[in-house]
Amino acid sequence: MDDERIGKVFRVIEERRDAFIEELLDFLKIPSVSADSSYRIDVRRAAEWLVASLARLGMETKIFETGNHPIVFGELFTSFDRPTLLVYGHYDVQPPDPLDEWTNNPFDPSIRDGYVYARGASDDKGQLFAHMKALDAWRQCGFELPVNLKFVFEGEEEIGSPSLEAFLKNNEDLLKADAVVISDGHQFAKGIPAITYGLRGLAYFEVEVEGPKMDLHSGGFGGLVMNPIHALIFILSRLKDLKDCILIDNFYDDVIMPDEEEREMIRQLPFDEEALRKELGVRELFGEDGFLPLERKSFRPTLDINGIWGGYQKEGAKTIIPSRAGAKVSIRLVPNQRHDVVTRLFVEYLKKIAPPAVKVNVRVLAGANPVLVDRKLPEMKAAEHAIEIGFGKKPVFIREGGTIPVVNMFYEILGVRPLLMIGFGRPDDRIHGPDERFHLDDFLCGMKTAVALWIELAKLSFRSEGS
Ligand SMILES: [Zn+2]
């Protein structure tokens, strides 16, 4: 802590702790469930509550209408020669069901064992509010802000962010930033904060095999037509082998391997294979030959059949050759694979292996590219340092196995490269489930991290506009 401002702001955070928590509870009481239209007024109320809070922090605010739930924008401009940090969060929450599995009413927050329990506590109200209260504490000290701040809080994240893409495209200038911080995730494990620098992409397909026009009697027609279920099984069984190696032609061409330093970093992450095996109730962990479990889910592509249907499934025997059969297949992509290229390879491969006696249709259900933020960027170092100051512990750098569409949008539409994915929550915060919670220590450490991040980012020399 080489900066006297940090000491002072941290003291204010400690002193104002209870008041900040009270405000968070008020925010959590608003049932801003985006998926259920009966909460529509409440979602709006949450947006207006945020706008009022941002205005009290001296921000210029604006509500952007989307046709459904609004996007809240707040800006605090200080100087052209300071870096601009954009903070993304979402104020909408998941439906609270099943209600009878909650200890307290999900919208009547309760504090127990250092946690606040409420829907949205960790995902994502508590996390975004940490950034806001950091600004509150900062302003109470009377210092000038070392950065320009922009807050973008959407109300549709839990329903897939349908309006965010257009919002980013239409407001590129307004949203210009040197770095984006997203606090909508969690630490690696209890007591191990993390920076996520990689996400896998996704290519999702529905494969349908068409045989005869109608279901046929297997006695009368067995031997005359190809059974679509057999054709489907034949196709699916050729997508990968028993060593979990994907067999689609040219599939691995664009896959880049991490260097030895990065592999070593992943190897050093605490990971208890046996504990996970027991937790999942499987006989052994399984995956691609030659890679460790954490390697397989962070930097190797994987293919899974997510569902399969066809034929007679009810009680007793029914001797039919079904008319059709289908399956859902998803592929997790890694750098530098592109979902459109993999889609083309998948379709071509199916065309090649499909038995000519049936018709095979492929529908593309989803596509997202993988994201890899250069973990050696100075902004990543700044974030690392900020977390160390805020949480009192150096973070680990991790690649997540999943996809976060919002991150892709900031990466691809705004073109911001320093994307700082810093989750303040914990893996066992039970987000989306009953008894969702957020530890108040994480709320405090989150505020401190936000403060330290501004100071650390301001230390970097930023390129001038347009370069
Ligand atoms: Zn979230």
**Same domain, residue pair 208 and 111:** no
Taking the centre of ligand 1 as the mean of its atom positions, its distance from the CA of residue 34, in whole angstroms, is 12
Among candidate residues 116, 151, 146, the one with its CA nearest the CA of residue 131: 151
State mean pLDDT over 79-88. 96
pLDDT at residue 462, rounded to an integer: 58
Structural domain boundaries, residue 387: 4-199+371-459
| Strands laid side by side in the 115-117 sheet | 110-112, 115-117, 437-439
Catalytic positions, written as ranges: 92, 157
CATH of the domain at 249: 3.30.70.360
Q: Is 412 exposed, middle or buried (0-12, 13-18, 19+ CB in 10 A)?
A: middle
Count up the domains in the chain and report the number. Answer: 2
**Same domain, residue pair 195 and 205:** no
Domain boundary among 367, 382, 416: 367
Taking the centre of ligand 1 as the mean of its atom positions, its distance from the CA of residue 307, in whole angstroms, is 26
pLDDT at residue 192, rounded to an integer: 96
| Confidence at 51, pLDDT banded by 50, 70, 90 | very high
Among candidate residues 90, 82, 73, 92, the one with its CA nearest the CA of residue 150: 73
Domain boundary among 367, 402, 421: 367
Secondary structure class of 135 (helix, strand, coil): helix
Q: Which residue has the tokens 């890679």?
A: 291
CB-CB contact of 391 with 152 (8 Å): no
**Same domain, residue pair 29 and 170:** yes
The structure's pTM equals 0.90
**Same domain, residue pair 248 and 334:** yes
- Residue 190 in this model has a pLDDT that exceeds 90: no
Mean residue pLDDT of the chain comes to 95
**Same domain, residue pair 25 and 50:** yes
- Residue 424 in this model has a pLDDT that exceeds 90: yes
**266 falls within a domain:** no
Taking the centre of ligand 1 as the mean of its atom positions, its distance from the CA of residue 382, in whole angstroms, is 24
**Same domain, residue pair 231 and 191:** no
Residues 208-233 have pLDDT tens digits of 999 999 999 999 999 999 999 999 99
Taking the centre of ligand 1 as the mean of its atom positions, its distance from the CA of residue 185, in whole angstroms, is 7
- Residue 364 in this model has a pLDDT that exceeds 70: yes
Taking the centre of ligand 1 as the mean of its atom positions, its distance from the CA of residue 93, in whole angstroms, is 8
Q: What is the 3-state secondary structure (H, E, C) of 51-112?
A: HHHHHHCCCEEEEECCCCCCEEEEEECCCCCCCEEEEEEECCECCCCCHHHCCCCCCCCEEE
**54 falls within a domain:** yes
**Same domain, residue pair 124 and 158:** yes
**Same domain, residue pair 425 and 355:** no
> Virtual CA dihedral for 379, 384, 387, 391, nearest 10 degrees?
180
- Residue 445 in this model has a pLDDT that exceeds 60: yes
| C-alpha separations of 29 from 42, 121, 140, 436 in Å | 10, 10, 26, 14
Taking the centre of ligand 1 as the mean of its atom positions, its distance from the CA of residue 157, in whole angstroms, is 7
Half-sphere exposure of 191 (CA within 13 A, CB side): 1
**276 falls within a domain:** no
Return the DSSP state at 183: -
pLDDT at residue 94, rounded to an integer: 95
Measure CA 326 to chain center.
Answer: 29
| Confidence at 465, pLDDT banded by 50, 70, 90 | very low
- Residue 353 in this model has a pLDDT that exceeds 60: yes
**Same domain, residue pair 147 and 182:** yes
